Amino acid sequence: MNIPVRLRRLRQSASIREMLAETTLSPAQLVQPLFVTEGTELEPVPSLPGIERIPLRQLAAHCRRLHKLGLRGVALFPKIEPALKSADGREALNPDTLVLRATRAIKESVPEILVFNDIALDPYTTHGHDGVLTADGTDVDNDATVSILVEMALLHARAGADFVAPSDMMDGRIRAIRESFEAGGLARTGIMAYSAKFASAYYGPFRDAVGSARTAGAAPISKATYQVNPANRREALREAVLDEGEWADIVMVKPAGPYLDIIRDVRERVELPVAAYQVSGEYAQIHAAAACGWLDLKAVRDESLLAIRRAGADLILTYFAEDWAASR
């Protein structure tokens, strides 16, 4: 056959394929979410195979190992004791709460690793919502919640967090936090905004891990009044653009895999770095299919991460981070 253009010439050896790869991935582009407890032993999370809740006393050593693997960031999520939870999430404003002690321990031991701290009330509330409820208990009170989140973000910044990461999806909270940082001498602390966070069904294992899930048999928590409708593409883009205008440093799309189109939209519209969160349900379903022998775990793990990068993510929060970096 006379075919002058043969694209297979550029695929015929591993060296050529590697040299011409349009999308690459490095450990420095991955952030490992970590669940922290007050306990003394590692606690496996059954719905997240290979993921454990880490006792505070072991956290710094774990982060040191992650840094040696080439990872440059961790995202902290506390599992709060039930007795400390309340309707208003007041434990979030305790200057000595678990996640703040964890932040200080990491920055004292491994100052080079970046700490991204979640700013939302769901680990601290008895009802599991990301903010305080209205007087009638039917919805989350946006403005009252923002006031609490500002205080919470200041505590995290003072504890040494490199980035606060508001995941609550309240209107106006990015501007309010940035203004409080500027006024409080914390201009160096970054904000990674959960900008396009969808009201997704993929968060179940995470809620198990932090203890914010409903009890067995109860209806799942609906966060549809504040998280983005999965049907809405333009609305998600508006959220990211608003957060850019409110002085976020990084914007995020969450979940990642089912929303690659949104990652691409955001990447093409904003000038900020774009993060994507490969969430617990994405991780769990890959593991479940591999456990059944239906998928090759490593191959699908790698393909899923490359797809998120190819869509336009500059960094990826993923439960695969440590495993991927260790397998290089």
Q: Please list the active-site residues.
A: 197, 254
User: Which of 9, 102, 15, 122 lies closest to 54, judged by CA?
Assistant: 102
Cα–Cα distance for residue pair 32/35, rounded to 1 Å: 10
> Cβ contacts of residue 20 below 8 Å, gap of 6+?
10
Cα–Cα distance for residue pair 28/177, rounded to 1 Å: 27
Give residue 285's identity as a one-letter amino acid code: Q
Tell me how crowded residue 277 is: count the other CB atoms within 10 A of its CB: 30
Residue whose pair of structure tokens reads 């955001």 in the numeric block: 266
CA 280 to chain centre: 10
What's the chain's length in residues? 328
Tell me: cis bond preceding 166? Omega within 30 of 0 counts. Answer: no
Give Cα separations from 315 to 1, 9, 11, 272 (angstroms): 44, 32, 27, 12
User: Which of 264, 207, 266, 268 lies closest to 235, judged by CA?
Assistant: 266
Cα–Cα distance for residue pair 247/195, rounded to 1 Å: 12
* Two structure tokens written together for 184: 């409080």
- Classified as helix, coil or strand, 199 is coil
Please report the DSSP string for 78-120 in residue order. E---GGG-BTT-GGGG-TT-HHHHHHHHHHHH-TTSEEEEEE-
317 in Cβ contact with 240 (< 8 Å): no
292 in Cβ contact with 311 (< 8 Å): no
